Amino acid sequence: MLANTNLISSNFFISLPTRTPKPRNSSLQLQNLKSTNFSLPNKTATSKFPSLVKPHNLNNTRFLVQKCQSTLDKNQNLEEEEEEEEEENPGLDGKASSVLESVDGVQEGKRDWTTSILLFVLWGVLIYYVFNLTPDQTPSRDMYFLKKLLNLKGDDGFKMNEVLVSLWYIMVLWPLVYGMILLPTGRSSKSNIPVWPFLILSCFGGAYALLPYFVLWNPPPPPVEETELSRWPLNFLESKLTAGISLAAGLGLIVYAALAGGDVWQEFFQYFRESKFIHVMSIDFTLLSTFAPLWVYNDMTARKWYDKGSWLLPVSVVPLLGPALYLLLRPSLSKVPALREASSKQK
């Protein structure tokens, strides 16, 4: 009977499985890591919970701690790498924000149409004034003046007014000056409307032909390739020789008109009050002189030259001479850092 009892008791101890504690949450283990005692007990020591200090449970705990520590190290390394990238490329945040703003603007259809509407209203008022309200007392004399200025009339002994002759040739120079300002920095990358047809029409219509492009213009300008600078018309419009000739010719014409006597100026003002041709041309000259500083500023900022060339903005208010002086002193597009970056990216 005793033997059977021993046999049953021994089988009972053999068949009982050892309970291993369920792994706790890693965060709780990290909090209680310092309070846990990992020292192995002496062989002679007795414990009420012998399974907690078995070697394989201790190894599991150490593995979990090492895994949590490695995860924290990886997250810290990623944060440090992101900070280093931001320090190396400080313009990324600005570019990202500008891209987001542009995307939001496109999605919401945002565009400030106030300036375009005002310019369109101005253009409409001017066209109505030119065709309906301008004085037209001497149409035959206007045709005679036009033929004389175009050299279609021979020498008949009549001396043309010096101020009128100077104004006529200044109006010939204005389309060239505007072409040098608007190409290429006055182009629009957000619309498919080219600027060159309006520049060609300005040779005949002046500001009346350019105002519709001002209404439709939507910056910023598209990037310019290096090969484009060596081709017509940019190689001609970017030339310092062209700018110098325009400045010299404009200076000579203005001096020629300024040296005219008081009687000549009084005669010109009389023509302005009577002649439709001279009246419309004088308003055209005023409009081109008024808009020129705005486009000088646009070209200056596109070339990243505002810090050095801002003193030319007040000078550009001087009709023709101010913009021509800016064209002579402005940096070439090939020296603009933004242009080199755009060209290198395309290559």
pLDDT tens digits, the chain, 347 residues: what are they? Answer: 444 444 334 443 444 444 444 444 444 444 444 444 444 444 444 444 444 444 445 455 555 555 556 665 655 666 666 566 555 544 434 443 333 333 334 334 466 788 899 999 999 999 999 999 999 999 999 999 999 999 888 888 888 999 999 999 999 999 999 999 998 888 877 777 889 999 999 999 999 999 999 999 988 888 777 777 778 888 899 899 999 999 999 999 999 999 998 999 999 999 999 999 999 999 999 999 999 999 999 999 988 888 888 899 999 999 999 999 999 999 888 777 655 444 444 44
Predicted TM-score of the model (pTM)? 0.66
CA distance linking residue 183 with residue 171, whole number of Å: 19
Q: Provide the 10 A C-beta neighbour count for residue 161.
A: 20
Q: What is the DSSP letter of 63?
A: H
pLDDT for 90: 46
Which 3 state secondary structure label does DSSP give 288?
helix
> Residue 336 class from Cβ within 10 Å (0-12 exposed, 13-18 middle, 19+ buried)?
middle
pLDDT for 91: 43
pLDDT for 53: 44
pLDDT for 33: 42
pLDDT for 51: 47
Which residues lie closer than 8 Å to 250 by C-beta, 6 or more apart?
170, 173, 320, 321, 324
Find the helix or strand (DSSP H, E) in which 295 lies: helix 276-302
CA distance linking residue 100 with residue 238, whole number of Å: 34
pLDDT for 185: 85
